[in-house]
Amino acid sequence: MATKKRSVKNILIVGVGGQGVILASDILSEVAMTCGLDVKKSEVHGMAQRGGVVSSHVRFGQRVNSPLIPKGQADVLLSFELAEALRWLGFLKPGGKAVVNSQKVVPPIVSTGLASYPQDAEETLKNNVGDAILVNALDLAEELGNPRLVNTILLGMTSRLLELPDSNWKKVVSQRVPKAFKELNLKAFERGRSLV
């Protein structure tokens, strides 16, 4: 395998339509770009907006070819939802890190009894990824005063696993959130960082 390939960092961000996965991956991509790196990012639009599975691949390094992360090569798996973390585990490289929001988003197909939500999802996750970082970001966001801060808390956590300067993170987060919520988001970002 080429050495170039090894220098590429792969972050897979997953969740459910409407959770803010796309915005989070936009922010991460921009942070990498402001650091002077090549970046590619890919996601699926369309039906995913309607409560479906959403995944966004972010890759950065000196030179990036494929916008998709090859299976088994994600350095970090960031999941906005518990069961979604399990679905995408196959992308994580051995020894890769998982940051998981333990919040559950139960699809109607479960409510109507046609499927069941994975039992003991947290345990399964821990059994497969030894040092998975699990946090109920919704609870934390509500503590901070706004459920919409889930996104920023999770990004704060992820930032600890990537070697991108703190100042670039804060600059991009500040630019991408509504002005009125800038301070609150920076607080949420710090909160996230303190968790890892």
Partner 1 sequence: MKELLSGNEAVARGAYESGVKVASAYPGTPSTEILQNLARYEGVYAEWAPNEKVAFEVGIGASMAGVRALVAMKHVGLNVAADPFMTFAYTGVNAGFVLACADDPGMHSSQNEQDNRYFARFAMVPLFEPSDSQEAKDMVGVALQVSEEFDTPSILRLTTRVSHSKGIVRLGKPKESAPGGFLRDRKKFVMIPAYARIRHPMVLERIGKLKDLSDRTALNRIEWGKSSVGIICSGISYQYAKEVIPEASFLKLGMSYPIPERKIRRFASRVRKLLVVEELEPFLEEQILALGIHVEGKKYFPRLDEFSPEIVEEGLYKAKALRPKRVSVSWTVTPQTASLPRPPVMCPGCPHRSFFFALNQAKGLVLSDIGCYTLSVLPPLESIDSCICMGASISTAHGVAKAIERAQTQEKRPVFAVIGDSTFLHSGVTSLMDVAYNKGNVKVVILDNRTTGMTGGQDHPGTGRTLQGEPTRQVDLVKLVESLGIKRVRVVDPYDLETTSQVIKEEVSAQEPSVIITNRPCVMLEKFDPSLVHRVDPELCEGCGMCLRLGCPAIVPGEVIPSKKEGGKVRRKAEIDPTLCRGCTVCEQLCKQGAISMAGA
Positions that interact with partner 1 (CB under 8 A): 2, 4-5, 16-17, 26, 29-30, 33, 38-53, 64-73, 83, 86-87, 89-94, 96, 106-112, 114-115, 117-121, 124, 127-129, 147
Closest CB to partner 1 among 91 and 189? 91
Query: How far apart are the C-alpha atoms of 85 and 83, rounded to whole Å?
Result: 5
Task: State in angstroms the smallest separation of the CB of 105 from partner 1.
Answer: 9
| Burial of residue 178 (number of CB atoms within 10 Å: 0-12, 13-18, 19+) | exposed
Query: How far apart are the C-alpha atoms of 147 and 136, rounded to whole Å?
Result: 11
Query: How far apart are the C-alpha atoms of 83 and 105, rounded to whole Å?
Result: 8
Task: State in angstroms the smallest separation of the CB of 23 from partner 1.
Answer: 13
Q: Which residues contact 175 (CB under 8 A, 6 or more apart)?
A: none
Task: State in angstroms the smallest separation of the CB of 194 from partner 1.
Answer: 25
Task: State in angstroms the smallest separation of the CB of 14 from partner 1.
Answer: 11
Query: How far apart are the C-alpha atoms of 47 and 54, rounded to whole Å?
Result: 9
Task: State in angstroms the smallest separation of the CB of 98 from partner 1.
Answer: 9
Closest CB to partner 1 among 128 and 194? 128
Task: State in angstroms the smallest separation of the CB of 90 from partner 1.
Answer: 4
Closest CB to partner 1 among 37 and 193? 37
Closest CB to partner 1 among 71 and 165? 71
Residues making up the chain, counted from first to last: 196
The answer to whether 52 and 97 have CB atoms below 8 angstroms apart is: no
- Residue 23 DSSP one-character state: H
Closest CB to partner 1 among 5 and 193? 5
Question: Letter for the amino acid at 144?
Answer: L
Least Cα distance to 9 among 54, 71, 73, 55 occurs for: 73
Closest CB to partner 1 among 52 and 165? 52
